């Protein structure tokens, strides 16, 4: 199942197709904050999607159009969903077992699915891309057109350069005046970093901050080829060799690094999930969405 699901990510360029595959049967919202009751006004129709409540289907419109449509009539929950994507050069790290799959592609899929769930739930959602020393935004909005805007930007982004510096992130991430849900996909190879500082700052501002730490199977097990030399994609002058004699030290250093990452995230109440990109993304999404109940 994991192999088939991750292979689909690697072998299709259609994010909407991947979303439909991953979310089939997931049936879970980003949060439980939608309000119903007196004073709620009709906003729009949209096509029925698995998981929608049957009582919200417009049966008169079904008789005329011969298709199921749902009435969007929930009051705004005042919760915005923000997607943060680390698209620095290290996110181009490929899987050694699934051809065509890399960390950036896997992160795209996770965030695209969160966007689709937010759109279905009626929330405003936006996107922040961190790449090549810059922060690029898709401002938060609602509806199917917003989903298409977010998917298009996710599809086009490339992994390049380094993360924006602390000053650029500090000024760039002033996007949420009221408490928001923030989903950040990164590999946390740099720690501490401008991104880690930004996530902690956002949490101190009372946002619900959740991070997915993406790694490859080879990174987790030290399963790299010993022949070629490896160049750090974010520091071109740094070249490394990997062999059996270095594996034990690599794994020891890696364990220490991520122990420090997790300890700091716990200290600052930033929730996180660990994800190997060879895993089925639906498993990671379930864990990511369940985290909200722990506060």
Distance CA 129, CA 104 (A): 12
pLDDT band for position 68 (cuts 50, 70, 90): confident
Provide the pLDDT for residue 233: 67
Q: Are strands 134-141 and 124-131 parallel, antiparallel or unpaired?
A: antiparallel
What is the overall mean pLDDT for the chain? 83
- Look at residue 36 and tell me whether its pLDDT is greater than 50: no
Provide the pLDDT for residue 148: 95
Q: Is residue 73 classed exposed, middle or buried when 0-12, 13-18 and 19+ CB atoms within 10 A define those classes?
A: middle
Provide the pLDDT for residue 199: 95
Q: 201-259: per-residue pLDDT in tens?
A: 999 988 999 999 999 999 999 888 766 555 666 665 555 666 677 888 889 999 999 99
Lowest mean pLDDT among 21-30, 56-65, 172-181, 233-242: 233-242
Q: 99-151: per-residue pLDDT in tens?
A: 999 999 999 999 999 999 999 888 899 999 999 999 999 999 999 999 999 99
> Which of the two residues, 94 and 16, has the higher pLDDT score?
94
pLDDT band for position 274 (cuts 50, 70, 90): very high
Lowest mean pLDDT among 80-84, 97-101, 165-169: 165-169
- Look at residue 170 and tell me whether its pLDDT is greater than 70: yes
Distance CA 109, CA 189 (A): 20
The stretch 82-103 carries a mean pLDDT of 96
Of 172, 6, 23, 178, the C-alpha closest to 103 is 6
Most confident of 62-66, 113-117, 290-294: 113-117
Name the architecture of domain 2-24+76-294.
3-Layer(aba) Sandwich (3.40)
- Look at residue 37 and tell me whether its pLDDT is greater than 60: no
Provide the pLDDT for residue 20: 84
Q: What percentage of the chain exceeds 90 in pLDDT?
A: 53
**Is the omega angle on the peptide bond into residue 192 within 30 degrees of 0, that is, cis?**
yes
The stretch 62-73 carries a mean pLDDT of 72
Q: CATH 3.40.50.410 in the chain, residues?
A: 2-24+76-294
Lowest mean pLDDT among 178-182, 227-231, 262-266, 269-273: 227-231
pTM above 0.95, yes or no: no
Distance CA 170, CA 214 (A): 23
Q: Are strands 124-131 and 80-86 parallel, antiparallel or unpaired?
A: parallel
Helix (H/G/I), strand (E/B), else coil: 114: helix
> Which of the two residues, 75 and 269, has the higher pLDDT score?
269
pLDDT band for position 12 (cuts 50, 70, 90): confident
pLDDT band for position 260 (cuts 50, 70, 90): very high
CB within 8 Å of 234: residues ≥ 6 apart: 88, 89, 90, 161, 162
Q: What percentage of the chain exceeds 70 in pLDDT?
A: 79
């Amino acid at each position: 199942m994991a192999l088939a699901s991750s292979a689909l990510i690697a072998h299709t360029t259609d994010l909407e197709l991947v979303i439909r595959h991953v979310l089939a049967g997931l049936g879970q919202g980003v949060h439980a904050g939608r309000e119903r009751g007196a004073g709620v006004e009709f906003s729009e129709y949209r096509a029925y999607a698995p998981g929608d409540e049957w009582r919200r289907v417009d049966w008169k419109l079904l008789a005329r159009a011969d298709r199921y449509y749902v009435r969007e009539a929930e009051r705004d929950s005042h919760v915005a969903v923000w997607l943060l994507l680390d698209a620095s050069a290290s996110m181009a790290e490929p899987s050694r077992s699934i051809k065509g799959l890399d960390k950036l592609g896997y992160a795209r899929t996770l965030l695209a699915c969160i966007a689709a769930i937010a759109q279905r739930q009626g929330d405003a959602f936006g996107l922040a891309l961190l790449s090549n020393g810059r922060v690029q935004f898709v401002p938060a909005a609602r509806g199917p057109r917003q989903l298409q805007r977010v998917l298009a930007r996710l599809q086009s982004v490339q992994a390049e350069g380094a993360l924006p510096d602390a000053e650029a992130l500090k000024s760039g991430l002033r996007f949420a005046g009221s408490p928001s849900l923030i989903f950040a996909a990164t590999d946390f190879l740099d720690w501490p970093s401008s991104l880690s500082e930004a996530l902690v700052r956002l949490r101190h501002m009372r946002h619900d901050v959740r991070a997915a730490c993406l790694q490859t199977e080879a990174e987790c097990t030290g399963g790299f080829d010993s022949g070629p030399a490896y160049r750090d994609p974010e520091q071109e002058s740094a070249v490394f060799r990997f062999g059996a004699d270095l594996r034990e030290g690599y794994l020891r250093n890696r364990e220490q690094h991520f122990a420090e990452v997790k300890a700091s995230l716990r200290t600052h109440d930033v929730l996180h999930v660990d994800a190997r990109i060879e895993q089925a993304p639906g498993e990671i999404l379930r864990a990511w969405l369940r985290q909200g109940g722990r506060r």
